[in-house]
Chain A
Amino acid sequence: GAVVSQHPSWVICKSGTSVKIECRSLDFQATTMFWYRQFPKQSLMLMATSNEGSKATYEQGVEKDKFLINHASLTLSTLTVTSAHPEDSSFYICSARQGLAGAGGTGELFFGEGSRLTVL
């Protein structure tokens, strides 16, 4: 299947600092990437939809000024957690959609490995 790489896998930072997480689609072009967060024993919560060359679409309740998303190319999206606080500690997962049926892909989502953020 398609490969999505996420970096870093683990990050520990002090409260008030900013953290950037990268998500790359390695073997396909992803016009759309999605960012999720997941708390322990809970399901994935969609934070935002990242579209190449345009502004991200944020889900209700997600602060766009706190979670900055940039999708500068067809293979790279970044999530920056600004002024992180302990309550932002979570597992952040990106995913990329491999096109649509009839366009060289079947539309399914492929996930990155996830980034575990711990804010002290």
Chain B
Amino acid sequence: QKEVEQNSGPLSVPEGAIASLNCTYSDRGSQSFFWYRQYSGKSPELIMFIYSNGDKEDGRFTAQLNKASQYVSLLIRDSQPSDSATYLCAVARYNFNKFYFGSGTKLNVKP
């Protein structure tokens, strides 16, 4: 079983719509959860992180965490073509000494 699982996509949404990206993790000892965006040929950039159950909002992005279900999601409101990228879910364990990445979900936002 993989540490972090994501649907590889591609997920296609029209411009202005809400994009919903999902991630599940296997270890209940996971401490914190991160969403990274990676454009083709570039390194990942941090979008946001979440530690506690519930929602965390930052601009057009909302991260949702449900530890009981071992589920993390990222919502992107008012999606823009520039949001088209691969989104990586990452989980930290062992006091942030181990980070596990999902395989990423490719998002296409169509103008």
**Which A positions have Cβ atoms within 8 angstroms of B?**
1, 6, 32, 34, 42-44, 46, 49, 91, 93, 95, 97, 100-101, 106-114, 116
Contact = CB atoms under 8 A, between A and B. Distances in A.
A31 to B, nearest CB: 10
6 contacts: A32-B97, A44-B44, A46-B100, A100-B95, A108-B46, A109-B90
Contact of A111 (B44, B96, B98): B44
Given A42-B103, A43-B103, A43-B104, A107 B42 contact: no
Looking at chain B's contact residues, the main secondary structure is: strand
Contacts, number: 51
Contacts of A116: 41
B43 A34 contact: no
Interface string B74-111: 00000000000000101010011111111110000000
A48 to B, nearest CB: 12
B99 A34 contact: yes
Interface string B29-71: 0001010100001111110010100000000000000000000
A102 to B, nearest CB: 12
Given A43-B104, A107-B32, A113 B42 contact: yes
B99 A110 contact: no
A44 B3 CA distance: 13
A61 B111 CA distance: 43
B65 to A, nearest CB: 15
Contact of A108 (B42, B49, B97, B103): B49
B43 A112 contact: yes
Nearest to A94: B43
Contacts of A97: 96
Nearest to B103: A43
Nearest to B95: A100
Nearest to B89: A43
A93 to B, nearest CB: 5
Question: B43, B51, B95, B103 — which one has the most chain A CB atoms within 10 A of its CB?
Answer: B43
B46 A106 contact: no
B46 A110 contact: yes
